[in-house]
Amino acid sequence: MSRDTTRSASALLLTILLCCCALPAAGADQGTVGGYPAAQALRLGQAMYRDGILPSGQSMKATVQEDIELDGAMSTCANCHQRSGMGALEGGILSPPTNGARLYAPLKSPLDIPGSIMKRSNFKGGRPAYNRESLATLLRTGIGPAGKRISETMPLYHLSEDEMAIMIFYLEQLSSELSPGVSDDEIRFATILAEGTSPGDRDSLLLPLNTFITEVWNAQIPARDRSLQGAKLPDAAKPPAAAAYRRAALDVWELKGAPESWGRQLEALYRERPVFALLGGIAPGKWDPVHRFCEKMEIPCIFPLTDLPVLSEKDWYTLYFSKGYYQEGEAAAKYLSRVFALPPGKKLIQLYRDGDQAKALARGFGETWRKLGDTALSDRPVAGDEKIDAKFWQQLASSHPDAVLLLWLAPADLAGIEALAASEHRPSTIFLSATLLAGALQGVPEGIRDLTLITYPTRLPGDLESGKSASAGWASFNTLPISNRSVAAKSYLITRVLARVLVDMGASAYRDFFLDIVDEGKDDINSTMLFPTLSFGPGQRYASKGCYVVSVSKGKDPQVVRQSDWIIY
Amino acid sequence: MKLAVVLICLLVCSPFAFAAEPAGSAPGAREALSRKSEKGLFALELAPAGGGLKTGSNSIDLTLRDKGGRGVEGAKLTVVPWLPEKNHGVWDKPVVTERGAGKYRVDNVALAIAGRWELRVAVQKEAQEDRAVFAFTVARKELPAPAKADKPKGNYKRSVHRYVLPNVTLLNQDGKKVNVRSLVDSGKPVIVDFIYTTCNTICPVLSASFANLRKELGKDAEQVQLISLSIDPEHDRPEQMKKYLSRFNAGKGWDFLTGSKEDIQKVLQALDAVVPDKMAHEPIYLLRGPNSDEWVRTKGLMRKTDLLGELRSLER
């Protein structure tokens, strides 16, 4: 197949199928499927496929490996065949594609398996095309269209006629049309720049993205064809013809004014020129409006550069670097509860200025501490105009002697804090955040250093230069005239992810497939200069899972001293 | 323009890197277990576990010394298996772990076919770089002789092994510290599997099998200790593991363990279950009877009946 099913071909195929082999139970002639209007049947089919829930609200029931009872809570179609229906390779088991276009065509060669070369190379034997009848037989009995039992790892489903009709109706439309933002020869992306982003940050974000798209990806498409199609490779190892690859384009979407208006602006920009996915992006405050837009429109957004992400266990379309400030608070709470093991009855006071950043930290700490800790935590918000000085600290110490103080504050607010150390009621421990301190750890006053712990959510100073983790690529990166290395490093990571995903996605430009492939990424210890590790997995939406706790040594040339592992359990 | 060139060099990530592996045999590759590196900077000594390399996954102990015969610590070792006659390498990369005093462990030397293989070892210690090539004749792996007569089974492989577990404390789904040795030595039959909470295909089936086994055992379910070891400890924290277990109606007697990468790695090494990447793991069960030093290892997704049969055979 030189190109994946095109829109017109798949529409034609579906029309033929709908006309020729409609089962009576499907009831498609009356405009209903399994007793429901088509649109509702699609939603119900989606719930069956993704969540294992039947139209009745009950769990789907199945049998796997001959005698193992499986219900919808344990595993779903999407677990193995992926949300996109493009299939997966896991544990040496290839789950073949299950979207209508591919089910209703024969599988003949590895090239009919979308995805990575590794996945294709696990193709073992083909099969004739399914039709509705043989598909229903397969789902119930495990007998494939060639009349033979397929792998026992495919569960056998106990479905009524109506439920079966809905399931098949859903599979028929699954990944049947290429996603918006994709034309015959182009795939379009956008990145977001909200008002208030500095010109330096803007350039640092755009330079790697644009360079990758124009000078690497687009420039290499013809070369990829010449060098690989001619190579002496087995079929399984051959990539699809380069004609399968589309040129990429990047739009810059500028957002202005109040974040409440971004949703409307995004919708207008999208209407004007739809994009396939969002790459990176910078907004000074919360990422909420963009997150909600992507969720609603089902547009993937990979790695926005924000420390104020939306925290959700269910949302699908935005993949973040980390949970940001919240994750630091979480790490501090885990450290105090599980590593530091505070004595029973210890009091904890949490101070934070009014503002999204400090509040996110306080929420991360508070929510985690209430689950793990056994002592009382009290919050002490500091109003925007409230002054913090030596007197403030003395009063705090005397009203909470020997307490643990969590000070989610900026450097300016630490003026006069030495008064704490001098006080006879000095706190037992102080916790600060390296991000809120803007990295200025040497600015922590000498007097409190021996009491102070600091959350540190990135690689430690010198870590990258140790030789062990620095690749030649990163070494030359450091020589580039980039004004914000942190922004550029994140942007560069996006291009590395994109390089792999665009190759593996090939012509099958479906948004859900794009995210499925991102999720298959290997945990890569060298993936960025900023994080010791980023790790991926189906549905995992925060790639950096760690945060160090450090202290600062005394003396003129203070050093950052690691106090915890990267991952604190 | 210069800037763009540098960036291009940076950005060429190589999804087709395998195609660019060097062709042809390196000169001077002879079968020997110790040799000097090509520039003479280091002396390397290999000790394959089991004496030689076999098809399948191999582990090798490597000792690295400098010119003065002292163990070299903190070197970066890259081991590339290469089969000159077929002109290809391997998909799964070997994993090198430093063990101190110049000793290194090379795991996951995965050789799919028999033949005359080379192991190309690159050594980097600060500014010093050198390499050495070892050649091995790799024999087909003989299946370990089962300790007990095997009846015809379902579609899985079975073997018997002796494993020594490290003294490591991990965390279970309730956030409680659990010593792996004590849990295994709790006096109950034990079944271990290797899973992660966001796994696509095989973990849900392995876990459904545990759930079905417990249902079948009914009241006696707690008399069997099930242990699921996370192979994605970065992501799998007690909260996620608890939620995962609830999908499978788990209860007392089924522990899901996580911990630092290093600790998990130690346990995986001891149980011969190291995976280079979590998505490349295999459906394995390890079963052990109380007070026994023999582990039954099964590979392949099994029927519940077969798993139950293996469990029953531990009691005999």
Q: What is the pLDDT of residues B203-215, one digit of tens each?
A: 999 999 999 999 9
Burial classification of residue B41, based on how many CB atoms lie within 10 Å of its CB (0-12 exposed, 13-18 middle, 19 or more buried): middle
Q: Shortest CB distance from A495 goes to which of B11, B211, B247?
A: B11
Cβ neighbours of residue A528 under 8 Å, at least 6 residues apart? A489, A490, A492, A493, A534
Q: How open is the CA angle A28-A29-A32, to the nearest 5 degrees?
A: 45
For residue A464, pLDDT over 80 is answered with: no
In terms of domains, do A99 and A233 share one?
Answer: no
Contact B206, B283 (CB under 8 A): yes
Chain A residue closest in CA terms to B171: A569
Does one domain contain both A164 and A92?
Answer: yes
Q: Is the pLDDT of residue A229 over 60?
A: no
- The alpha-carbon gap from A16 to the nearest alpha carbon of chain B, in Å, equals 33
Cα end-to-end span (Å), chain A: 48
- The DSSP code for A292 is H
Q: In what helix (H) or strand (E) does residue B64 lie, and over which residues does it extend?
A: strand B56-66
Q: How would residue A439 be classed by pLDDT, with cut points 50, 70 and 90? A: confident
Question: What per-residue confidence (pLDDT) applies to B220?
Answer: 92
Neighbours of B244 (CB within 10 A): 24
Q: Is B280's CB within 8 Å of A92's CB?
A: yes
- Which CATH number characterizes residue A407's domain? 3.40.50.2300
Interchain pair A537, B235: CB under 8 A:
yes
Say yes or no for a CB contact (<8 Å) between B7 and A93: no
Q: Which residues share a beta bridge with B170?
A: B178
Asked whether residue A19 is domain-assigned, the answer is: yes
Higher pLDDT, residue A210 or B154: A210
Q: Do A372 and A425 fall within a single domain?
A: yes
**Residues A420, A444 within the same domain:** yes
Helix, strand, coil percentages, rounded to 5, for chain A: 40, 15, 45
Based on the fold, state whether residues A150 and A15 are members of the same structural domain.
yes
Q: Does residue B8 sit at the A interface (CB-CB below 8 Å)?
A: yes
In a domain, A418, yes or no: yes
Candidate from A539, A540, A569 with C-beta closest to B258: A569
CB within 8 Å of A391: residues ≥ 6 apart? A416, A419
Q: How far is B145 from chain A (nearest CA, A)?
A: 25
Q: What whole-number distance in Å separates Cα of residue A73 and Cα of residue A81?
A: 16
CA angle A484, A485, A487 (to 5 degrees): 70
Q: Are residues A330 and A315 in the same domain?
A: no
Per the listing, tokens 């409190």 go with A448
Give A138-145's long-range contacts (Cβ < 8 A, gap of 24+): A139/A164, A139/A167, A140/A164
Co-location of A233 and A286 in the same domain: yes
Across the interface, do A89 and B198 touch by the CB < 8 Å criterion? no
Burial class (CB in 10 A: 0-12, 13-18, 19+), B282: middle
Residue with tokens 């040497």: A442
Q: Do A316 and A442 fall into the same domain?
A: no
pLDDT computed for residue A373 by the predictor: 72
C-alpha to C-alpha distance for B231 and B203, rounded to whole angstroms:
11
Closest C-alpha to B198, from A536, A216, A345: A536
Q: Is residue A534 part of a domain?
A: no
Kindly give the interhelix angle for A511-519 and A485-505, rounded to the nearest 10 degrees. Answer: 110
The pair of three-digit structure tokens given for residue A146, joined into one six-digit string: 């060639």
- Write the burial class of residue A543 (CB in 10 Å: 0-12 exposed, 13-18 middle, 19+ buried): buried
Domain annotation covers residue A490? yes
Q: Could you say which of A173, A198, A221 is where a domain stops?
A: A173
A20 inside domain: yes
ipTM: 0.86
Which residues, listed in sequence order, are joined to residue B65 by a DSSP beta bridge? Answer: B43, B71
Position A538 in a domain: no
Domain count, chain A: 3
Higher pLDDT, A324 or A415: A324
> Residue A16: what pLDDT?
45
Residues in A touching B6 (Cβ below 8 Å)? 476, 479-480
Q: Which fold has domain B157-315?
A: Glutaredoxin (3.40.30)
Same domain for A378 and A266 = no
Q: With an 8 Å Cβ cutoff, is B206 touching chain A?
A: no
pLDDT attached to residue A38 = 96
Task: State what percent of residues in chain A have pLDDT above 70.
Answer: 87
* Model confidence band, residue A240 (pLDDT cutoffs 50, 70, 90): low
**Spatial CA neighbour of A517 closest among A534, A532, A496, A497:** A497
Tokens of A300: 């993937």
Dump strand ranges (E) for A326-383.
348-353, 377-382
| Cα A374-A378-A379 angle, rounded to 5 deg | 135
Pair (A300, A232) in one structural domain: yes
Mean pLDDT of chain A: 88
Domain boundary, last residue among A173, A196, A219: A173
- Per CB-CB distance under 8 Å, the chain A contacts of B198 are 537-540
pLDDT of res. A27: 45
B20-138, what's its fold?
Immunoglobulin-like (2.60.40)
Residue B291, token pair as written in the block: 């007070």
The identity of residue A14, as a single letter, is: L
How far apart are the C-alpha atoms of B247 and B128, rounded to whole Å?
A: 53
Nearest 5°: CA angle at A281, between A276 and A282? 160
Residue A280, domain member (yes or no): yes
Separation between Cα atoms, residue B56 and residue B111, nearest integer Å: 5
Question: Last residue of a domain, which of A173, A195, A217?
Answer: A173
Q: Please check whether residues A204 and A289 belong to one and the same domain.
A: yes
What is the distance in angstroms between the CA of the first residue and the CA of the last residue of chain B?
A: 75
Across the interface, whether the CB atoms of B199 and A95 are under 8 A apart is answered: no
Q: What is Dmax (Cα atoms) for chain B?
A: 75
The DSSP element (H or E) to which A227 belongs, if any, is helix A218-229
Instruction: Report the Cα A519 to chain-centroid distance in Å.
Output: 7
Q: Is residue A367 part of a domain?
A: yes
Q: How confident is the model at residue A469 (pLDDT cuts 50, 70, 90)?
A: very low
Structure confidence at residue A442 (pLDDT): 86
Q: How far is B84 from chain A (nearest CA, A)?
A: 16
Per-residue pLDDT at B84: 85
The residues pairing with B138 across neighbouring beta strands, listed in sequence order, are B115
pLDDT band at A85 (very low <50, low <70, confident <90, very high): very high
Average pLDDT of the segment spanning A62-81 = 95
Q: Which residues in chain A touch residue B154, judged by CB atoms under 8 angstroms apart?
A: 66
**Cβ of A65 and B91 within 8 Å?**
no
For residue A458, the SS3 value is coil
**What's the pLDDT at B22?**
38
316 residues of chain B, pLDDT tens digit each: 444 444 444 444 333 333 333 334 444 344 578 889 999 999 999 988 777 887 777 889 999 999 888 999 889 999 999 888 877 777 667 888 888 889 998 887 878 778 888 899 999 988 889 999 998 888 766 544 444 434 445 689 999 999 989 999 999 999 999 999 999 998 999 999 999 999 988 999 999 999 999 999 999 999 999 999 999 999 999 999 999 999 999 999 999 999 999 999 999 999 999 988 888 888 999 999 998 889 999 999 999 999 999 999 987 6
Pairing mode, strands A301-302 and A318-319: parallel
Q: Which residues of chain B are in CATH 3.40.30.10 domains?
A: 157-315
The model's confidence at residue A279, banded by pLDDT at 50, 70 and 90, is very high
- List every span in chain B annotated with CATH 2.60.40.10: 20-138
Q: Measured between CB atoms, does B59 come within 8 Å of chain A?
A: no
Which residue of A66, A216, A569 is in closest CB contact with B12? A216
Residue pointed to by tokens 């037989």: A137
Q: What is the pTM of this model?
A: 0.79
Closest chain A residue by Cα to residue B206: A68
The stretch A514-528 carries a mean pLDDT of 80
The residue segments making up the domain with residue A440 are 325-456+549-562
Chain A contacts of B57, Cβ < 8 Å? none
Residue contacts between A and B (CB atoms, under 8 Å): 164
A210 & A276 share domain: yes
The phi and psi torsions of B154 (rounded to 5 degrees) equal -70, -160
Flag if B11 and A64 touch (Cβ within 8 Å). no
Cβ neighbours of B175 in A, within 8 Å: 338, 372, 569
Per-residue pLDDT tens digits for A4-36: 444 444 444 444 444 444 444 444 445 899 999
